[in-house]
Amino acid sequence: MYAPAALAFVVVYKASRMMNFALGEWLMLGSRLVATGIHGLGVGLVAAVGGSAAVMVGAALVFSRLVLRRLVSRPLISLIMITIGLGALMRGASAIVFAGIPGRIGLPVPIDPLIIQGVPVAADKVLAAAIAAVMLVAVGVFFRVSRAGVALRAIADDQQVAMTAGIDVERYFALTWMMMGVLSVLAGTLWTVVSGGGFGVVLLGLKVFPIVIIGGLDSIAGTVVGAIVIGVLESVAAGYLDPIMGGGFSHVASYLVLLAALFVRPHGLFGRPDVERV
């Protein structure tokens, strides 16, 4: 379940080299919109997800047109502060707009668990994992095969050269944020199904950074590996180290690994190191 959330971060960074520090708020907003459609409007899950995705695409497009297009070629700190400010705005507004809306979201699957190799596993978790895998494959194929994906990779390599070649950088930046909006809805919904929803989904954004640093900021395959590493690490730490070190150490363990990765391999397991001729 960590991988789809990290994927929403990687999609933006892979194309624009921009770090979205408001990712947790985007995930929370996506899940809250779906919950509002189900509990507030009384529509089905598919309609709620589709409507929420449309709203998020519109919000991402407005943000891109009104804000990001003015920040092209600006210093990185400007982009970082914009996303931090956007996150604060989204948290405050969501607390008012979605007050009283239940956070739970369920999948239409049997309640009885599935027995896999003698181990009972919740059916909704199996379905959520399958959907997450499809998302990862679809985005990977998009970047590798499609014309738009190739253009986004070219922009990531060198914006100035891409503009010289006739690629509309602003339009493709808007496309990446629209993709991020859709992925935020799907990832936030899947996380809510498996681990609970509400405004606490914002904290999922903090889990993304160890994953993308370990796997590689611009690598989709690294997103999968990093998500598995962090998920297994937290589970092992919760089972074996929390009783010794005290409760909550499992939440710190991933950030200790993050620091170690920055010292040993700062570009991640599958990321590309930036090499410049000086």
DSSP assignment of the chain equals -HHHHHHHHHHHHHHH----TTHHHHHHHHHHHHHIIIIIS---HHHHHHHHHHHHHHHHHHHHHHTGGGSTT--HHHHHHHHHHHHHHHHHHHHHHTTT-------SS-SSPEEETTEEE-HHHHHHHHHHHHHHHHHHHHHHHSHHHHHHHHHHH-HHHHHHTT--HHHHHHHHHHHHHHHHHHHHHHHHHHH--GGGGGGHHHHHHHHHHHH-TT-HHHHHHHHHHHHHHHHHIIIIIHHHH-TTHHHHHHHHHHHHHHHH-TT-SSPPP-----
Sequential pLDDT tens for the chain (278 residues): 888 889 888 888 877 778 888 899 999 999 999 999 998 888 988 999 999 999 999 999 988 888 877 776 677 777 888 888 888 999 999 889 888 888 888 877 777 778 878 888 888 888 888 888 899 899 888 888 888 888 888 887 777 788 888 888 888 888 888 999 999 999 999 998 888 777 888 888 888 888 988 888 878 888 888 898 888 888 888 888 888 877 777 788 888 888 888 888 877 877 766 655 55
In a domain, 216, yes or no: no
Total domains present in the chain? 1
The model carries a pTM of 0.89
In a domain, 101, yes or no: yes
Choose among 202, 264, 253: nearest CA to 231.
253
d(CA 43, CA 215): 38
In a domain, 71, yes or no: yes
In a domain, 257, yes or no: no
Per residue in 162-181, pLDDT tens?
888 888 888 888 888 899 99
- Asked if 217 and 20 touch (Cβ cutoff 8 Å), the reply is no
In a domain, 164, yes or no: yes
Domain of residue 110, residue span: 2-201
Mutual angle of helices 2-16 and 123-145, in 10-degree steps: 20
Per residue in 206-229, pLDDT tens?
888 889 888 888 788 888 888 988
In a domain, 98, yes or no: yes
Residues 6+ positions from 86 with CB-CB distance below 8 Å:
22, 25, 63
In a domain, 239, yes or no: no
In a domain, 185, yes or no: yes
Question: Largest Cα–Cα distance in the chain?
Answer: 62
